[in-house]
Structure 1
Amino acid sequence: MNVEAYTATGILEAYILGELTVREQEHVAFQLQHYPALRDELVRVEKTMEQLALQAAVKPKAHIKDNILQSVGKRIKSQPTNASNFWVWLAAASVILACGFAYVAYNYYVQWSSTSQQLAEIELRNQQIAQNLNTVNLELSKIQDEINVVENPAYSRVILTGTNQVPDAKATVFWNASTQEVYLRVQHLQALSTENQFQLWALIDGKPVDLGIFDSKNGLIKMKPTSRADAFAVTIEARGGSPVPSLQTLQAMGSTKG
């Protein structure tokens, strides 16, 4: 390669000044990589151009320097330094990030609160359903127990009908003489005050035997057991019961003799 002819074109000066195209720059870089003499010439051209620039430079007057320094001083006083700008920017960014995190946290809290409330409502609803199911199961169990008594042929069914005072009174006694179990079902009895209760009696050889007190309600009522009974009767007594029946408050009566 003829280095002198190559450099005479002014391509190295254009390379230094950045006036070449990308393709031309790549071509010069390739030549510099393979020709040491061309690299030396590039160094010489760079130094020459630097010297020419220094020789052509004009020294500024002293007052211009002072004016520049004063202007810079004013700008420094009126504006924050780069470091200050950095910390101001950093503080602003921190505030923005804090606000962002606060918003995200608040949004998460709102969603969590809503979800927590929904879960609490679901849990409460499940508890209510469980309680209802438990109540239903108890009722079904009670009904099954009643069916086992009512349909069991071991139990004698004694119908108690109303007296002349209360002709519409009616109740049924289910009595198992073998197990001595006694159950009572009320079909109709008059309403009582809070001071009174009904009391069931078994008449054995003409003598009344207490079989327990009860309040009028639906379903079978388990009473006290008895191994013997000629008849059953219901009276109204003071709350808590009485050792002997009040004949004037006799409500219903039925014989076991059929």
Structure 2
Amino acid sequence: MENLKAYIESGVLELYVLGDLSPEEALSVEEMAAKHPEIRDELAAIEEAMEQYAYQNAIEPSADVESKLFEKLGLTDIETEANQATQSTPVYVEETRIVPLDSSSGSIKVLRYALVACVALLIVSTAALFITYNKLNDAHDQIASLNLDKQKFAGVVSKMEFENQGLENIAAMADSKEWATIRLEGQAYSPSSKMKVYWNKKDKSVLINYVAMDLPKADPKHEYQLWALVDGKPVSLGVFGSSDSTGREALVKMQAIEKAQAFAVTLEPMGGSVNPTMDKLTVMGGV
């Protein structure tokens, strides 16, 4: 159940919904969904959440878009201008009567309606372009946000894959009476640091756990060195890199030791030191 919870929280289901997994990875997710109702429910919840996000962030066009565009185009007084043009229509004199041209019929009326129709079409087209432009900008922002989230999910999945490399071995060791788990706590040099060392009581082998390791990143000129305290004297068990590197196995074997009262880690120059640098004592724990 814990492994299933970790799988759901890893971010791989979000990547599946976004379509960012390889065909093999997507098939693996579908197989997990077929076996576990919890996976199917989580996928449905993710899809619904992304759909709701899209709806909630949609931008409605302003109600006065048409009037503002009308004003900018200088077309707010079309009817008035048409009437003024009609009033300026030339007249013919016949005997003593003045006969104006009939502005309500013929080509002037048709032209006026055509002009109004053209302006209306222009307004609708401009408004549609304006709305589309706003939606494109909003879509661009959403895509940028989704890309950022996708990168975060990818980082979570990468970390999860690294941690799972030794997960089965760690679980087996926890159930075995042959292995002792030694928790190393932070010292004055780095109080928040921590890590775990596994010591086999039978064959005396020693493993360090990169999954449960939290040490400061070492610079290129230094690396960490593991020590065993044997009858009050430090014995080197080898050097290793800091926990930020995921290019190695989750469990790394160090030098074996017959007996030990405690384990400790110091920061040393590349290649290690003959004696520990005590002012760089990072973590330590008793057996």
Same fold (TM over 0.5): no
The structure with the largest alpha-carbon Rg is 1
Higher relative contact order (CA 8 A, sep 6+): 2
Which is helix-richer, 1 or 2?
Answer: 1
Give the TM-score category using the shorter length: 0.3 to 0.5
